[in-house]
Amino acid sequence: MKLLVTDYDNTFHINDSDMAENVTAAKEFMHDNVFAIATGRNYTSFMKQKELYDIPYNYLITNNGATIIKNNEIIYNEFLDDNIKNSILKEVDFDKLEKIVCCGGKDDVTINDSVSKLYFKFYDYEEAKRIQGLISKYDVNIFLYTDVLSMDVVSKNVGKEKAIKYIADLENIEDVYVIGDSVNDYEMIKEYQGYCSVVAKEQIKEISKKQYSKVADLINEIMEG
C-alpha cells in the first residue's frame, strides 16, 4: 500500500480542464492505496472546492498541517499558543490588512478563541515583509505567499511533513509520495524526496525529483510501478 499526498492550489488544481482526469485518477488510486490532500486552506475554503469538483480523499490536511481530518472528523489539531497568538496580533496594524481570518479546526473563530492558523491578507508587499520580520521572533512557522500577498502563521510544531508522518504511521505505510508547488510544500518535498507541479516556485523545482503538468500523470506512474 502507498500513500500519495498532494497540495491543492497550483498542484492538484492548476486549471479546470485537468480536474476531471485528476479526480478519476485519485479515485482509482484509492482502491488499494491512501490518498490525501494537504492544503494551506482552512476546512471551509477547501470544502467549497471539494463540492465543486467532487474531490475524493482518505485524509484531508488543512491549515498547513495544523488539522487532519478523516471521515469528516478531526483526528488531529494543533493550536497556536494563546500567548504567542495574542503577541502576534498586537504586532499587526489591522488598518493595513485587507483581511484577517482566525481558523479553528473546522470553522473560523474570533481572535479571542483558540486558533489553529492565522491568515493575513495584505494590501502591499512592504507591509507583508514588515509583519513577517516582526513576528519571526516568535516560535511559529510563517508562510508568506508573495504572489498573492498573504501569510499563514501556525505553531512551530506544525507542517505538512509532520501531518504526513502522522498519517503514514497511523496507516503503517512506508511508501510515501508527495507533490506540491510553494513555500508551504518545501519541507514535505524535501523530507519525502517528492515532486512538484510545472507551475511551482523555482526553489521548489530545485529540490523536486520531477515536474508534472497534472497530478493524474504522477498517479498513473505510481500505479504502473
Query: Could you give the number of structural domains in the chain?
Result: 2
- Judged against a pLDDT cut of 90, whether residue 19 lies above it is answered with yes
How confident is the model at residue 65, as a pLDDT? 97
- 30 with 141, same domain? no
- Band (132; pLDDT cuts 50, 70, 90): very high
Are 100 and 56 part of one and the same domain?
Answer: no
- Domain shared by 151 and 162, yes or no: no
pLDDT mean over 30-43: 97
91 in the same domain as 53 = no
User: Global pTM?
Assistant: 0.95
Q: 159-215, pLDDT tens digit by residue? A: 999 999 999 999 999 999 999 999 999 999 999 999 999 999 999 999 999 999 999
Q: Say if residue 163 is in the same domain as residue 133.
A: no
Whether residues 119 and 220 share a domain: the answer is: no
pLDDT the model gives residue 25: 98
- Do 35 and 143 share a domain, yes or no? no
| Domain termination site, one of 111, 139, 155 | 155
Q: Are residues 62 and 114 in the same domain?
A: no
**pLDDT class for 110, splitting at 50, 70, 90?**
very high
Q: Are residues 47 and 108 in the same domain?
A: no
| Predicted local confidence at residue 39, as pLDDT | 98
Enclosing domain of residue 93? 82-155
Average pLDDT, rounded, for the chain? 96
What is the rounded average pLDDT of the residues 5-29?
A: 97
- Please write the tens of the pLDDT for every residue from 160-174: 999 999 999 999 999
Domain termination site, one of 155, 180, 200: 155
% of the chain beyond a pLDDT of 90: 99
Q: What was the pLDDT predicted at 225?
A: 81
Amino acid 163: pLDDT: 98
Q: Which of 140, 155, 170 is the last residue of a domain?
A: 155
Q: Are residues 72 and 170 in the same domain?
A: yes
- Same domain membership, residue 144 and residue 115: yes
- Looking at the structure, do residues 112 and 209 belong to the same domain, yes or no? no
Percent of the chain with pLDDT over 70: 100
* CATH number where 11 lies: 3.40.50.1000
CATH code, domain with 104: 3.30.1240.10
| Three-state SS annotation for the chain | CEEEEECCECCCECCHHHHHHHHHHHHHHCCCCEEEEECCCCHHHHHHHHHHHCCCCCEEEEHHHCEEEECCEEEEECCCCHHHHHHHHHHCCHHHEEEEEEECCCCEECCCCCCCEEEEEECCHHHHHHHHHHHCCCCEEEEEECCCCEEEEEECCCCHHHHHHHHHHHHCCCEEEEEECCHHHHHHHHHHCCEEECCCCHHHHHHCCCEECCHHHHHHHHHHC
